[in-house]
Amino acid sequence: MRLKLVPQQTNWDFFSRSKWTLGLSVLLIVVGFASFMIQGLNYGIDFRGGTTIRTESAQPVDVAAYRAALEPAGLGDISITEVFDPTFAADQNVAMVRIEAQEGEESASVSVVQGVETALRTIDPDMKFPSVESVGPKVSGELIQTAAIAVILAIAAVLFYIWLRFEWQFALGAVAALVHDVVLTLGVFSELQIKFDLAIIAALLTIVGYSLNDTVVVFDRVRENLRKYNKKDLKDVLNLSINETLSRTVMTSVTTLLALISLYVLGGDVIRGFVFAMIWGVIVGTYSSVFVASAILLWLGVKRDWSKPDANAGNQFGNVDA
């Protein structure tokens, strides 16, 4: 018995309420932008600066016990991550403890580091601390700039790729959907004040790739149907294409969400922010592929006369492998 999340054949009009769907997107973007301007992002240690202490113990790493031992010190944002390496011995358990920069200091002072070491030795008196490293505000500022450039370059590369593979109207529709996804993700992180670190940048880049994949699948079917039904109205072609790829879109999104929700529930605090960004990104990425990218394409229009000698203008790279 096959599982079907949507009927085998659908004929839904995805543009009958386009004013409402686009209006919802605009509203969420405005709210997210306002939140970003008013309260900003809750930057993690990667972007605020701080100190990283490497621990080594014969006892298994218990993140909850480490956190409980350090909580009375009131050091603010603390990140504890167990390090896995196949070269480690059986009794070599390594963790990285990151402490945010304290008020008025570029890194944790000697007394703070000593206090952390003393607190952790209550768990294991023989615990060792092989290294202590600090990241100052200047380096953190450079990381923020580099992360922003990485996201912008990824979106620019997508614009160029879609322009070559399809036409410029398709490219603008795809990029509008990607910008929509990134802005909404930044907005929800600002609104909820969830810790924003380098792992979230990785999630943003993954969201860009996921959303692009969904959009390209829909646009590829649109291009096929434009040639197949060259007399049909563009709105009808878009509706037909979205309906034909809807089963694939929903199945891909649902199966991805099942894995992400499992990670969110069982994965622990270390990856929870990353997984939350991915869950939100899959939802808004699927939404934007159906309602935003296609609506922009419908608004811009696309050349329909494929019979003229220049019918491939702007689409000369359409058969290039992805």
Q: For 51-107, what is each residue's pLDDT tens digit? A: 888 889 888 888 888 888 888 877 777 878 888 777 777 888 888 888 876 665 555
| pLDDT at residue 317, as a whole number | 42
Q: What is the DSSP string of 177-206?
A: HHHHHHHHHHHHHHHHT-EE-HHHHHHHHH
Least confident of 176-185, 219-228, 240-249, 306-315: 306-315
Average pLDDT on 177-195 reads 88
What is the percent of the chain where pLDDT is above 90? 6
136 vs 13, more confident: 13
Average pLDDT on 157-185 reads 83
C-alpha span between 62 and 64 (Å, rounded) = 6
Q: Read off the pLDDT band of 30 (50, 70, 90).
A: very high
Residue carrying the six token digits 């768990």: 123
| pLDDT at residue 276, as a whole number | 92
| pLDDT at residue 283, as a whole number | 92
C-alpha span between 39 and 41 (Å, rounded) = 7
- Give the predicted TM-score (pTM) of the model: 0.72
141 vs 196, more confident: 196
- Sorted by where each starts, the structural domains of the chain and their CATH numbers stand as 18-42+140-300 (1.20.1640.10), 50-135 (3.30.70.3220)
Q: Does residue 200 carry a pLDDT above 80? A: yes
CB 160 within 8 A of CB 317: no
| pLDDT at residue 149, as a whole number | 85
Residue 52 structure tokens: 């990283």
C-alpha span between 166 and 215 (Å, rounded) = 12
| pLDDT at residue 2, as a whole number | 59
Helix H or strand E segment including 132: strand 128-135
Residue 288 structure tokens: 């934007």
Any residues with CB less than 8 A from the CB of 239 and at least 6 apart, and which?
Answer: 11, 12, 13, 14, 15
CB atoms under 10 Å from CB of 87, counted, come to: 5
* Average pLDDT of the chain, as a whole number: 80
Average pLDDT on 280-304 reads 85
